């Protein structure tokens, strides 16, 4: 059973973002790394799931909608930037693997390299669909100004009665429970709960600071198979949304049907993208950084 990807609220997204109508646009997608406690679950952005996303791009470029005045609009995706969050994962890997910071950095880089190797055929299919693409690993995303961006985020966190602090603390608690449970179930850990809190908070603050780097990519839109990270969204809304608007649209996944006969074996594009029946997109609610 092949998976089918769909944008949630594609029609509304196009109509609400006039700057992206009927022109070549650049889309950025963040690729999460799979945590050890998720090892039994299929990676939601790799293998057949990523193949389905690539086919979603192709089908989106073939689709048009009409507004209330019967004017035709469409998204014309011309470029995809793939940001792999491998280096960000080093904070948790140090605890998951019980290794040094240097070893955790190496482990994280290895996760990114493996993702590229596992999905190379689908990345190549993006280009064969007429969409250029670029892969950026986390450490490549971070510019020489990143330490300053991180300082801005940390200062925002330390403000009295900070809404941002509440967001990060709530997320930390959610992630902390998963991390502590994993460590307790897998081995006797030398790390304390405070170590876990510190690692989780560093992860979330660095993720939020990356909003400045995402803005520098000058993309026209951003997508991810889930809601936008609340910490990232807060920083983008507060510091960047007016000067660098970055509309966000969530995409989802559902089970498909048996591969249709029109996918020909001799076509490398169709081989890579096989499994996407020509069905209508499901229309759901859309979210946006500027909400």
Give domain status of residue 167, yes or no.
no
pLDDT score for 41: 54
Residue 47 DSSP code: T
Give domain status of residue 158, yes or no.
no
Nearest to 55 by CA among 119, 126, 124, 7: 126
Give domain status of residue 29, yes or no.
yes
- What percent of the chain is modeled with pLDDT above 70? 78
Higher pLDDT, 187 or 154: 154
Q: What pTM was computed for the model?
A: 0.84
pLDDT score for 175: 82
DSSP string, 114-166: HHHHHTHHHHHHHHHTT-EEEEEEHHHH--TTHHHHHHHHHHHHHSTT-HHHH
DSSP string, 209-270: HHHHHHHHTT-SEEEESSPPPHHHHHHHHHHTTTTS---EEEEEEEE--SPPTTS-TT-HHH
Give domain status of residue 242, yes or no.
yes
Q: Which residues have CB under 8 Å from 179's CB, separation 6+?
A: 37, 92, 95, 96, 196, 199, 200
Domain span including residue 47: 3-142+218-267
Binned at pLDDT 50, 70 and 90, residue 186 comes out as low
User: What length does the chain have?
Assistant: 291
DSSP string, 21-36: TTSEEEEEEEEPPPPG
Q: What is the pLDDT of residues 104-157, one digit of tens each?
A: 999 999 999 999 999 999 999 998 888 999 999 999 999 999 999 999 999 999
CA distances from 24 to 27, 59, 128, 221 (A): 10, 15, 17, 12
pLDDT > 50? residue 278: no
pLDDT > 60? residue 188: no
Least confident of 20-24, 140-144, 185-189: 185-189
Give domain status of residue 203, yes or no.
no
Higher pLDDT, 176 or 46: 46
pLDDT > 90? residue 209: yes
Quote the CA–CA distance of 213 and 220 in Å, as a whole number. 14
Quick one: which H or E segment has residue 271? helix 268-273
Average pLDDT, the chain: 82
Give domain status of residue 163, yes or no.
no
Least confident of 15-19, 167-171, 245-249: 15-19
Range 3-14 average pLDDT: 84
Overall domain count for the chain: 1
Give the orientation angle of helix 230-239 with respect to helix 146-158, to 10 degrees: 100
Range 19-37 average pLDDT: 80
Quote the CA–CA distance of 275 and 47 in Å, as a whole number. 12
The CATH number covering residue 35 comes to 3.40.50
- What percent of the chain is modeled with pLDDT above 90? 54
Nearest to 140 by CA among 213, 220, 31: 213
Binned at pLDDT 50, 70 and 90, residue 92 comes out as confident
pLDDT score for 276: 42
Q: Largest Cα–Cα distance in the chain?
A: 65
Range 30-54 average pLDDT: 80
31-35, 58-62, 232-236, 282-286: which has the highest mean pLDDT?
A: 232-236
Binned at pLDDT 50, 70 and 90, residue 179 comes out as confident
Q: What is the pLDDT of residues 244-268, one digit of tens each?
A: 889 999 999 988 655 433 233 334 4
Higher pLDDT, 9 or 149: 149
Give domain status of residue 190, yes or no.
no
Give domain status of residue 193, yes or no.
no
């Amino acid at each position: 059973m092949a998976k089918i990807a769909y944008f949630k609220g594609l029609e509304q997204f196009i109509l609400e973002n006039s700057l992206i109508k009927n022109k070549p646009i650049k889309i950025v997608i963040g690729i999460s790394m799979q945590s050890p406690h998720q090892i039994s679950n299929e990676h939601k952005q790799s293998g057949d799931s990523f193949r389905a996303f690539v086919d979603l791009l192709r089908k989106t470029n073939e689709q048009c909608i009409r507004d209330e005045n019967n004017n035709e609009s469409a998204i014309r995706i011309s470029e995809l930037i793939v940001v792999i969050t491998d280096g960000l994962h080093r904070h948790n890997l140090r605890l998951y693997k019980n290794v040094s910071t240097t070893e955790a950095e190496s482990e994280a880089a290895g996760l990114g390299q493996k993702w590229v190797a596992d999905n190379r055929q689908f990345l190549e299919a993006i280009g064969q669909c007429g969409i250029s693409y670029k892969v950026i690993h986390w450490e490549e995303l971070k510019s020489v100004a990143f330490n300053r961006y991180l300082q801005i985020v940390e200062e925002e966190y330390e403000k009295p009665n900070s809404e941002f602090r509440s967001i990060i603390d709530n997320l930390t608690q959610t992630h902390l429970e998963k991390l502590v449970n994993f460590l307790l179930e897998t081995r006797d850990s030398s790390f304390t709960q405070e170590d876990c809190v510190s690692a989780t908070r560093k992860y979330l603050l660095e993720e939020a600071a990356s909003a400045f780097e995402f803005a520098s990519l000058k993309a026209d839109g951003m997508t991810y198979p889930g809601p936008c990270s609340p910490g990232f969204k807060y920083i983008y809304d507060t510091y960047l949304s007016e000067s660098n608007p970055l509309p966000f649209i969530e995409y989802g996944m559902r089970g498909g049907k048996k591969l249709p006969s029109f996918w020909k074996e001799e076509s490398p594009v169709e081989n890579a993208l096989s499994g996407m029946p020509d069905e209508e997109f499901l229309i759901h609610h859309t979210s946006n950084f500027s909400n």
